[in-house]
Amino acid sequence: MATLAVLLFSGLALSEYSGLVPHRPFLLPGLTLHQDLTWVTLTVLSALGALFYLAHAGSRLASAARQRKEALRIAYVQQARELELARSVQAKFLKVPPAIPGLDIAAVNLPAAEVSGDFYDFLPAGDGRHLLVVGDVAGHGISSALTMAAAMMAMELSLQSFNGNGHKPTASEVLGRLAREVDSFLTSRIGGESFITAFFALYDEQEESVVTLDLGHSHVLAYLAASGKAVPPRWVGERYLPLMASHYVPSGLANGRDPQPWPLRVEPGDALVLYTDGLVEARNGKEEYGMRRLRQKVAELGALSAQEITRGIMDSVVAFTGGGEQKDDVTLVVVKRIS
């Protein structure tokens, strides 16, 4: 406001001095602005000083804005570098499907952000048995990725300790103890703000059998070669709560009882399709991809290889969404019995 007043005063002084406006008394009777050239000069100089001040202040503001912009750019680059490192580390957790006699396996994981809370794993369980795990940590991003890594490490360590005592446990014992130990570890170390839905499948090469345990993760389809249909498996017994669910449900992992795994009959040519909710909840505007489309696609592709089934499903989802923004992590694992 002071600068504006000086500028207005200077303009008035110059106008009166040059005769553009009538002379009029200024402060004291008989004193006009043009009668005192020194006063006019000082006024003009004051105005120029105000202009220089405004220019200097504007320059400082522009410099501060540039510095702020550069600081934000550096912070963004640093964050992007750290997230890329986290993505690279997580990718090493998600193994290439192993070569298991009698099985054809393919898997894909697509995070909604740089890192994912979804996971899959293939772990040796001793005595010609192999554990397949598909899981989904609530939410996505860095915190979910850290929880996922902790869960995967806990599963691997639990299996190693279980296999080193010289006793061959039954498939039900393996899965039941694994679920209890991992749930106990995660609840005590992390607990609180998250939970994990998971599906375990234990395959025995010698017996050619599959025993499963569903911990709140019912995203499973079975392709039946004999009928060419894709159907949800018919589970026997109770459903079990997700890992770390005791924070929300006092009765804990298995509704107060030990988990009871159940066998699943898989004939040559049959396939298991395991996925996370991000796949069926992929959206095209207001419509979801949904179970109906997935079942149709699995039935259509079921006679193909595991890799071809996986690629066909993912291509179908991308075509449905039109390549729009991915809102949730997506994991898809296809296990096909070939002998």
One-character DSSP codes across 230-245: EE-----S--BPPBTG
Q: Is the pLDDT of residue 148 over 70?
A: yes
Classify domain 94-337 at the CATH superfamily level.
PPM-type phosphatase domain (3.60.40.10)
Q: Is the pLDDT score of 49 beyond 60? A: yes
Q: Look at 6-10, 141-145, 182-186, 196-200 and tell me which has the smallest mean pLDDT.
A: 6-10
- Specify the pTM: 0.74
Q: Which segments of the chain belong to CATH 3.60.40.10?
A: 94-337
Helices 171-189, 142-163: crossing angle, 10 deg rounding? 140
Return the pLDDT at 254.
47
**Interval 162-181 mean pLDDT:** 81
- Residue 195: pLDDT over 80: yes
Residue 281 exposure: Cα atoms within 13 Å on the Cβ side: 12
According to the model, what pLDDT value does residue 21 have?
A: 52
Q: What confidence tier does 19 reach under pLDDT thresholds 50, 70, 90?
A: low
Tokens of 105: 């396996």
Average pLDDT over residues 165-185: 85
Highest mean pLDDT among 3-7, 158-162, 203-207, 260-264: 203-207
The whole-number pLDDT of residue 31 equals 44
- 33 close to 26: Cβ distance less than 8 angstroms: yes
How far apart, in whole angstroms, are the C-alpha atoms of residue 159 and residue 178? 7
**pLDDT tops 50 at residue 26:** no
